[in-house]
Amino acid sequence: MKLLVALAALLFLLELFTGPAGLDPYVIQEVRLPRAMGAVATGLMLALAGLLLQTAIRNPLADPYVLGVSGVAQLAALASYVGWRLAEVPYVGYFAGSLAGATVATALLAYLARRAEPLVVVMTGVLMAFVSYSATQLLLLVLPPEELGFIYVGLQGSFAAYPAGVLGYGILAVALTLWLIAYLNARHIAVLAHGEDVAAGLGADVKRASLIALLVSSIAVGFTVASVGPVGFIGLLAPHMARWLAGRYRFDKVMWTAAGLGPVLALVADLAVKALPRETPVGTVLTLVGAPAAAYLMWRHVGKIRG
């Protein structure tokens, strides 16, 4: 864990002090610092959301992006803006819309996980991702062209969209608070991986642990999507890499390793994006690594079911 923290700190400094503008104090303060903070906050929240989803719905392929949670959150956030902008619907806020969408999608997956096979849950999530993406593109058509520029950046998934100032620090504080809540309930959440009946037999407060896992993962995804847009595969990669590094599988035994890996993955991906000739969504880099990893995990999972 100490090595991961040191690596994350080194990558954070590289984000701050490298770039075409050199060591210009204004650029560091107003451009690079919010972007680096966005990578850290996003890495923390997506790693936690992925770990919680994989534990609570007992599916190793669970990831907020792959299972459509991020897509539904994005659609709900955009719908809240469009409704306020064009139809004079009371504005509930981009963050509130994103949180509502993430909560609904996560609750649906949790409901299915109790009643269907793991592959059914995965396929439902993938369908949600496709439908929400298509609905989002259609919803953009009703907005005036002059408003699409700044909205498009946030919809693609970019740490450059992370808000500066008090709001940015507030989102990072939310990320740390969510990890604290998960830590205080880690043992109860960990036994959810064995199923609700076994967890209850082991003395866990199943309803409370399930509710916390649902709410914390939803809040994490909601804040991530509202601040930087949908970012894929960190929620899948960080938990599995943490298990591999720690040599353990329980939530409470790998959570801190996952907490270190999330920001590391996000910072590495963003540094790779900044090295490209032009600005590219950070998800492009993460997909190049995450998609093959997801395919490998699915192959292993299907093999175990057949075996």
pLDDT tops 50 at residue 305 = no
Backbone angles phi, psi at 92, to 5 degrees: -90, -5
Query: Does 182 have pLDDT greater than 90?
Result: yes
Give per-residue pLDDT as tens, 69-96.
999 999 999 998 888 877 777 767 788 9
CATH code: domain of residue 75: 1.10.3470.10
Share of the chain above pLDDT 70, in %: 93
Burial (Cβ within 10 Å: 0-12, 13-18, ≥19) of residue 21: exposed
Give per-residue pLDDT as tens, 23-41: 888 888 998 999 999 999 9
For the cut 50, the answer to whether the pLDDT of residue 284 exceeds it is yes
If residue 134 lies in a helix (H) or strand (E), which one and from where to where?
A: helix 118-140
Per-residue pLDDT tens digits for 261-273: 999 999 999 999 8
What's the average model confidence in pLDDT over 227-246? Answer: 90
Q: How far apart are CA 38 and CA 35, in angstroms?
A: 5
Confidence at residue 298, expressed as pLDDT on a 0 to 100 scale: 66
Kindly indicate the confidence band of residue 192, based on its pLDDT and cuts at 50, 70 and 90.
confident
For residues 165-186, average pLDDT: 95
pLDDT confidence bin for 202, thresholds 50/70/90: low
Counting the structural domains of the chain, the total is 1
- Reported confidence tier of residue 285, pLDDT bands at 50, 70, 90: confident
Average model confidence (pLDDT) across the chain: 86
CA distance 110 to 53: 8
The reported pTM is 0.90
Question: H helices of the chain, where?
Answer: 2-17, 25-27, 33-56, 69-87, 94-113, 118-140, 148-156, 165-184, 186-190, 196-201, 206-228, 234-246, 251-274, 282-306
What whole-number distance in Å separates Cα of residue 160 and Cα of residue 33?
10
pLDDT at 155: 77
pLDDT, residue 113, reads 85
Report how far Cα 185 is from the mean position of its chain's Cα atoms.
20
Q: 15-19, 142-146, 174-178: which range is least confident on average?
A: 142-146
Structure-token pair, residue 27: 């650029």
Residue 23: which residues within 8 A CB-CB, separation 6 or more?
17
Residue 186 has pLDDT above 70, yes or no: yes
The runs of H, that is alpha helices, within 141-201 are 148-156, 165-184, 186-190, 196-201
The residue range of the domain holding 71 is 2-306
